[in-house]
Amino acid sequence: MATSFKTFDPTKDSVVSRNLLHEAIPITGTIVSGTYSDNNIKNYSHGMFQSVYDYPFLSSSANHIFDLTAGYSAGSEVSGTSATHVQNSKKINIYNQMAQVLAGFNAQGAVREFDEDGDLTGGTKIEEAYFINVTRLLSKDEIKKGSFTLTLGVNADYTNPFAQTINITDASGSNGFKVNSPAGEYGILFAKNGTGTPMSAHGTNGTAVGLLYYQAGVAVLSSSAFDSLLSVPVSMSRTEGVASHPSASVNAILSSSAISGNCDALRHRTENLLFNNTIELNSTVYFCRANNTDFNYSANPTYLSSSKMVVKTDSTDEPVTYVTAVGLYSADNELLAVAKLSEPLKKTPATEFTARVRLDY
Amino acid sequence: MGFLDNSGDIILDAVLTDLGRKRLAEGNGNFNISKFAFGDDEIDYGLYDKNNPSGSAYFDINILQTPVLEAMTNNMSSMKSRLISYAENDLLYLPVIVPATTIGGSGYYSGLSSYIVLVDEETVNSLTTTNNSLDAGLLNGYRPDLGTNMIRTDQGLNTDEISDQVAISSKLLETQYFVQIDNRFASLMPNGGNTSLSPSSIDDDNIATYIVTLNSATRSGANIVSNIAPGAASDIDGPRGTRTEMKLASTLNLKTSTSLFNQLGTNGTTAITSGTQTLAAANYKFIDSTLRVSGVSTGYTVDIAVRFVKKTS
């Protein structure tokens, strides 16, 4: 009896597998800070955050790569209600929103502040922070632990920021991440000297300067990266140093500039951002086995001329077919998936092969 | 839909079909892959040159160089020709399915390689006064139980190198068919019956699939598939296999509305005649569609052109 379908043996013809794929995501600082004359930077009328694209965002080719925002806790020293405190409530709202999602609530139901070392029982809190929210397009399922590097220009002179740099990494991420966040796993960000020695000293891993939430794809960067971490605090807006113009210090700018202005200042000092993402790939592999007696004839109309096979002269000749596709069917013959071979594959009674079709979910 | 890169190792480009995605989204366990088939849609076996003077290594050189298209997600557009497994390697002839248009009652409409389905009573009455007598190729979609015209396919070895008196080998006999038709236009009805069949499935493109089996009576007691006796009248030249005989019942939507004709159809271009009656070109609209008949085991497929006609003025 002829047949064109072959039933899978579920015990040996299919297997479910899980793989983690990683992609390297390098974001050069020039994209962030000027290549497109800021046409790739989108600010919103609400002023709560700023979006960064990899191309002018009015183009359909543009991809949204990350968002920037800044905020501080209500108890921060830069918080205040005077006229010089620009967008004070919005900055507090941003901080609280991010803290609520990423750090959660304490036993009394109050929003926890970000903790510098991840030990929620005490220690230094990050009260003033920049937030880098990487889009799912780039981070996919999560940022790969131990792969994050952010290079910031921390030269005191705002107009020449990259004369000195620091590298901020999740140095302990691959084996020292934390799991006490409602948003999944996170690691501590550490800063070390890059170009020059802007930091007078730091430990082997560096000095804690923020948090990286792997599944959420959010980096929380303490404002200390531009201030107390360094030998000379940097100016976030002027050529002259902070010593002569304290109003240009990071905390002063956090208070007196709008969120978009703070995002601009951070972008101006971003030299590079590099990380690997992770894609969790669940696959079912179907082994489509063509044994020597299988699939040696075709129902292709060109296979026959007056019902006679064109590939044979005599009945003793070997039949031959050429496979270009594999169809996967339901029990009631519905075509659910199809796979195409890149070139025709010859099949005769003298050959056998197994086509391995992988469906990813 | 580009070609696949064939400059290196053989790769497989796999996609879920639109129907597969629909079944997956339904989330009720209907996405259950249980079997597979191999296809060779791109292959033109006419390029197989078994007389190539350079030797057998060159017989299929042109076939092996055939570029292969990327996978299409439309389930109706892929796997149109499947590879077949037979236990024997010494077969020289394989069965085909042909529209049986030379036998009484199942000819095409004159001048068209197509059947015409008259979808409503007014259209039928414009071409016959009795509902029973229509010219060849004109099918009464309003009352398929009336009249003798039908669509018929014959299966067998279509060669004059084997006598038509020889019984076809049982392994080449097709006993079950898939019949597919756009469910928006018509349903399948057996010749001699008065009740439409229920499709076994309807896909995301509204293509209804009916599975009809040899000597399996329908609800109205009529068979669609029957054996053809050796030597009996047939469009098959050699040993006969099985025959399908069916009619099409137009859907309620086609009977009572012109919306699909306005959306998918065309104004008539030539007058349709039956006996002394004429339906002028200006007075009807039509939709061209296809009825597909495939052998379940032998895999052979034939597409039959069907035109649905509705009188509009």
CA nearest to B32 within chain A: A330
Which residues are CB-neighbours of A18 under 8 A, at least 6 positions away? A280, A281, A282, A283
Mean pLDDT of A198-209: 87
Q: Are B264 and B167 in contact (CB under 8 A)?
A: no
Task: Specify the range with the lowest mean pLDDT, choosing from A139-148, B9-18, B180-189, B281-290.
Answer: B9-18
CA nearest to B155 within chain A: A307
d(CA B244, CA B256): 29
Mean pLDDT of B124-151: 87
Mean pLDDT of B137-150: 91
> Does residue B149 surpass a pLDDT of 70?
yes
* Distance of residue A201 Cα from the nearest chain B Cα, in angstroms: 53
d(CA B273, CA B135): 8
* Distance of residue A11 Cα from the nearest chain B Cα, in angstroms: 12
| DSSP reduced 3-state for A81 | coil
* For testing contact with chain A, the best of B35, B60, B211 (most A CBs within 10 A): B35
pLDDT band at A256 (very low <50, low <70, confident <90, very high): very high
d(CA B187, CA B250): 7
**Better-scored residue on pLDDT, A29 or B55:** B55
pLDDT at A68: 96
Q: Do residue B37 and residue A339 have CB atoms under 8 angstroms apart? A: no
- What value, to the nearest 5°, has the Cα angle with vertex B56 and ends B54 and B58? 60
pLDDT at B222: 76
> Does residue A38 surpass a pLDDT of 80?
yes
Q: From edge to edge, which strands make up the β-sheet containing A335-347?
A: A6-7, B35-39, A321-329, A335-347, B12-16
* Distance of residue B174 Cα from the nearest chain A Cα, in angstroms: 9
Q: Are A227 and A249 in contact (CB under 8 A)?
A: yes
Q: Cα B131 to chain center, whole Å? A: 26
A136 shares contact with chain B (CB less than 8 Å): no
Q: Do residue A332 and residue B92 have CB atoms under 8 angstroms apart? A: no
pLDDT in tens, A283-314: 899 999 999 999 999 999 999 999 999 999 99
* Residue of A150, A221, A231, A224 lying closest to A196 (CA atoms): A231
Residues of B with CB below 8 A from A341's CB? 4, 10-12, 68
Mean pLDDT of B100-129: 89
| Measured CA distances, A62 to A36, A235, B198 (Å) | 12, 32, 50
Among A7, A310, A334, select the one facing B19 at the smallest CB separation: A334
* Distance of residue A286 Cα from the nearest chain B Cα, in angstroms: 9
* Residue of A51, A94, A55, A63 lying closest to A264 (CA atoms): A51
Q: What is the mean pLDDT of chain B?
A: 90
Eight-state DSSP code of residue A95: H
Write out the two tokens for A68.
């920037």
**Better-scored residue on pLDDT, B204 or B198:** B198
CA nearest to A306 within chain B: B159
Alpha helices in chain A (DSSP H): 29-33, 88-102, 136-139, 250-256, 259-268
Residues of B with CB below 8 A from A318's CB? 89
Listing DSSP states for A213-245 in one string gives ETTTTEEEEEGGGGTTTSSSPPPSS-SS-TTT-
pLDDT in tens, A176-202: 899 999 999 999 999 999 999 999 887
Which of A144-148, A157-161, A174-178 is the most confident on average?
A144-148
* For testing contact with chain B, the best of A303, A320, A332 (most B CBs within 10 A): A303
Q: Rounded to two decimals, what is the model's pTM?
A: 0.79
Residues of A with CB below 8 A from B43's CB? 298, 300, 302, 321-322, 324, 344
pLDDT in tens, B153-171: 999 999 999 999 999 999 9
CA nearest to A358 within chain B: B14
End-to-end CA distance of chain A: give it in Å, rounded.
37
> Does residue B220 surpass a pLDDT of 70?
no
* Distance of residue A57 Cα from the nearest chain B Cα, in angstroms: 28
Q: Are A217 and A143 in contact (CB under 8 A)?
A: yes
Write out the two tokens for B174.
């097709």
* Distance of residue A139 Cα from the nearest chain B Cα, in angstroms: 24
What is the maximal distance between C-alpha atoms in chain A?
99
A111 shares contact with chain B (CB less than 8 Å): no
d(CA A10, CA B299): 24
| DSSP reduced 3-state for B229 | coil
Q: Do residue A295 and residue B84 have CB atoms under 8 angstroms apart? A: yes
A60 shares contact with chain B (CB less than 8 Å): no
CA nearest to B239 within chain A: A307
Alpha helices in A154-308 (DSSP H): 250-256, 259-268
A55 shares contact with chain B (CB less than 8 Å): no
The torsion region of residue B80 among left (phi > 0), alpha (psi -120 to 50) and beta comes to alpha
Q: Cα A217 to chain center, whole Å? A: 6
Among A296, A307, A339, select the one facing B89 at the smallest CB separation: A296
Among B14, B43, B90, select the one facing A339 at the smallest CB separation: B14
pLDDT at B7: 66
Mean pLDDT of B2-8: 69
Write out the two tokens for A143.
């940022």
Residues of A with CB below 8 A from B87's CB? 293
Residues of B with CB below 8 A from A350's CB? none
CA nearest to B157 within chain A: A307
Continuous segment of H or E residues that includes residue B14:
strand B12-16
> Does residue B108 surpass a pLDDT of 80?
yes
d(CA B118, CA A251): 82
Q: Do residue B91 and residue A315 have CB atoms under 8 angstroms apart? A: yes
A16 shares contact with chain B (CB less than 8 Å): no
A338 shares contact with chain B (CB less than 8 Å): yes
CA nearest to A335 within chain B: B75
Residues of B with CB below 8 A from A332's CB? 200-201
pLDDT at B131: 61
Q: Do residue B43 and residue A343 have CB atoms under 8 angstroms apart? A: no
CA nearest to A330 within chain B: B33
* Distance of residue B221 Cα from the nearest chain A Cα, in angstroms: 24
Q: Do residue A327 and residue B79 have CB atoms under 8 angstroms apart? A: yes
pLDDT band at B211 (very low <50, low <70, confident <90, very high): very high
* For testing contact with chain B, the best of A307, A326, A330, A356 (most B CBs within 10 A): A307
Q: Residue A224: is it exposed, middle or buried by C-beta count within 10 angstroms (0-12/13-18/19+)?
A: buried
* C-alpha dihedral sign at A175, A178, A184, A189: negative
Positions of E strands within A105-237: 114-115, 125-126, 128-134, 142-143, 149-153, 165-169, 178-181, 184-193, 207-213, 218-222
Q: Do residue A336 and residue B17 have CB atoms under 8 angstroms apart? A: yes
